[in-house]
Amino acid sequence: MKIHADSPRTDETALPVVHLRRPRWGDPETPGELPTAAAALVGAEGSEQGEDQQRGVAPDDVVLAEPVIPAAARSALVEALGVHRVTDDHRARIDHTRGYSTPDILALRSGDAGDAPDLVVSPGSHDDVLRILEICAVHHVAVVPFTGGTSVVGGLAPDRTGFAGVVSVDLTRLDGLVEIDEISRTATLQAGLRGVRAEELLRAKGYTLGHFPQSYAGAGIGGYAATRSAGQSSAGYGRFDEIVEGLTLATPRGTVTVGTAPRSAAGPDLRQLFLGSEGAFGIITEVTVRVRPAPEHRVFEGWRFDDFDSGSDALRALAQDGPMPTVLRLSDETETAINLADPDGAGADDDATAQGGCLVVVGYEGHREEVEARRTTTGRVLAQAGGLALGTGPGEAWRTGRFRAPYLRDPLLDAGVLVETLETVTYWSRLTDLKAAVTAALTDTLTEAGTPPLVMCHISHVYPAGASLYFTVVCPQADDPIAQWSAAKIAANDAIRTTGASITHHHAVGRNHRAAYHDEIGELALAALRAVKQTLDPEGVCNPGILL
């Protein structure tokens, strides 16, 4: 087995926009395949026959419930948007069913499209979105905003109990670069703009957003803002919420615009109320972001540390005392040994894995002289902390392969291998305990179920006070893989909350993390958020059951 030749092994400036077709990741014309070493690692060599059996029900054969939208709501939507912008087409409903978590993929493969929307509508303007919300509020129809559809936390599967139907609002047509303010270095982008296309439009003017989540091929601006997404270059460019200067929100009660100035003492910062609101307060239609000049030079390199703790100390030193590279990431011993930082090389030995220990990937972007100066001083800190320079090989392998890992999941599932990820964040002083607790929770639960896992972890985003941990879990699939993962995830969530960490650093809350999130913020804070929702969305039609 080999990775398909056309799968995107490239950097962010050359990736195509991918229109995701459920249930598989990426362009259906260029399916991912397992690299030989990875296939051998999971015992999936030559299992094409097994693959066909595991792929499950084809999307076109999934049986959908009849759409249950009130006739008056449907005709009002058609009148507002035009007949071609309102559809209950089978494939459109399937492609807007849930997101891209492993349970989402498995459910659809099993033929379960129970969360399919009744209608998919495509607004072309902010006013269209206002009108949709107004109509849905009147007819008590639930509304799901949909940008790229890459949610991994159940953010696209609202609780339809008590509602007269569910409408998915696909924002793809809101795909414009509204304006660039070159003096202030900001850009206003429409919410439906895909990340890849946004970067393309900005690069044409000499700028970059610097936001590259692993879901970059599919996710978009509205989704980034609604989930507080974090890109792989967050050390240098900041998380998405950190670069948002302002936004426009359509609600069933009208429009809210925030972000008069970059900083203000005029009351609480309302941008922070709407960033991460996951469609529960309304639909974000425009976002103004800080942009940077596109980098003229970049260098990515690898460093080796003896163990995770010494690598973690080195990252903390950089996060607290500088200098800060653009990308900074530490794989633990298991992830390094598997070579997960380079999906093509997963399971294979190379420079990064040969000597054991833990791999740190460090990337620098900017003006040439500044990059080289930062690289020298960062290198000094890493060497003093016990790091061994591995050169640019492992860094470049990670940079050009970093959008490929999602392509491995489908062939792994085809081969009967369960793979899923989860993430969390805590203070540096609690990081070791958090890693141990989550690893033990996942290992114990899946081992007791008779499917001992491989649990890998990396530090993906660092701050002066703490860091996020990202876990990847691989194990044989049980007869009911959704229940199998659900038990492991509950145990991991408990471990996260017991060690005082946050239930999510960047995947957001959705439906899957709702209970843990409510536990995390407490009753009073929850009541305050519900009061905001009640004000903006008195009928409660905006993404019911998501977040709140």
Footprint of ligand FAD on this chain (CB under 6 A)? Answer: 99-100, 144-152, 155-156, 171, 191, 213-215, 218-220, 222-224, 226-227, 229-230, 278-279, 283-284, 406, 506-508, 510, 543, 546
479 burial type by CB count under 10 A (0-12 exposed, 13-18 middle, 19+ buried): exposed
**What is the closest distance, in whole angstroms, from the C-beta atom of residue 399 to ligand FAD in the complex?**
14
How far is the CA of 91 from the CAs of 94, 96, 142, 155, 213, in angstroms? Answer: 5, 9, 20, 20, 27
| Contact yes or no for 459/505 (Cβ under 8 A) | no
131 or 506: CB nearest ligand FAD:
506
**What is the closest distance, in whole angstroms, from the C-beta atom of residue 148 to ligand FAD in the complex?**
3
Q: Enter the tokens of residue 347.
A: 């399971």
**What is the closest distance, in whole angstroms, from the C-beta atom of residue 367 to ligand FAD in the complex?**
26
**What is the closest distance, in whole angstroms, from the C-beta atom of residue 229 to ligand FAD in the complex?**
3
**What is the closest distance, in whole angstroms, from the C-beta atom of residue 294 to ligand FAD in the complex?**
21
User: Which of 160, 154, 180 minimizes the C-alpha distance to 119?
Assistant: 160
100 or 385: CB nearest ligand FAD:
100
| Strand spans (E) along 11-157 | 86-87, 119-121, 142-146
**What is the closest distance, in whole angstroms, from the C-beta atom of residue 59 to ligand FAD in the complex?**
17
262 burial type by CB count under 10 A (0-12 exposed, 13-18 middle, 19+ buried): exposed
Residue with tokens 């309304």: 282
189 or 495: CB nearest ligand FAD:
189
| Contact yes or no for 380/322 (Cβ under 8 A) | no
229 or 443: CB nearest ligand FAD:
229
Which residue has the closest beta carbon to ligand FAD? 223
**What is the closest distance, in whole angstroms, from the C-beta atom of residue 318 to ligand FAD in the complex?**
20
| Contact yes or no for 361/327 (Cβ under 8 A) | yes
CA-CA distance, 540 to 136, in Å (whole number)? 10
User: Given the DSSP bridges, would you call strands 166-170 and 142-146 parallel, antiparallel or unpaired?
Assistant: parallel
**What is the closest distance, in whole angstroms, from the C-beta atom of residue 17 to ligand FAD in the complex?**
12
Other CB atoms within 10 A of residue 13 CB: 11
Q: Enter the tokens of residue 74.
A: 């449907």
32 or 155: CB nearest ligand FAD:
155
Radius of gyration for the chain, computed over Cα atoms and rounded to the nearest angstrom: 23
139 or 194: CB nearest ligand FAD:
194
454 or 509: CB nearest ligand FAD:
509
User: Which of 260, 68, 248, 91 minimizes the C-alpha distance to 171?
Assistant: 248
385 or 496: CB nearest ligand FAD:
496
In what helix (H) or strand (E) does residue 292 lie, and over which residues does it extend?
strand 292-293
| Contact yes or no for 26/406 (Cβ under 8 A) | yes
- What contacts 103, CB < 8 A, 6 or more positions away? 420, 482, 485, 486
CA-CA distance, 456 to 330, in Å (whole number)? 11
Q: Enter the tokens of residue 149.
A: 């559809």
227 or 443: CB nearest ligand FAD:
227
**What is the closest distance, in whole angstroms, from the C-beta atom of residue 132 to ligand FAD in the complex?**
12
287 or 371: CB nearest ligand FAD:
287
**What is the closest distance, in whole angstroms, from the C-beta atom of residue 112 to ligand FAD in the complex?**
19
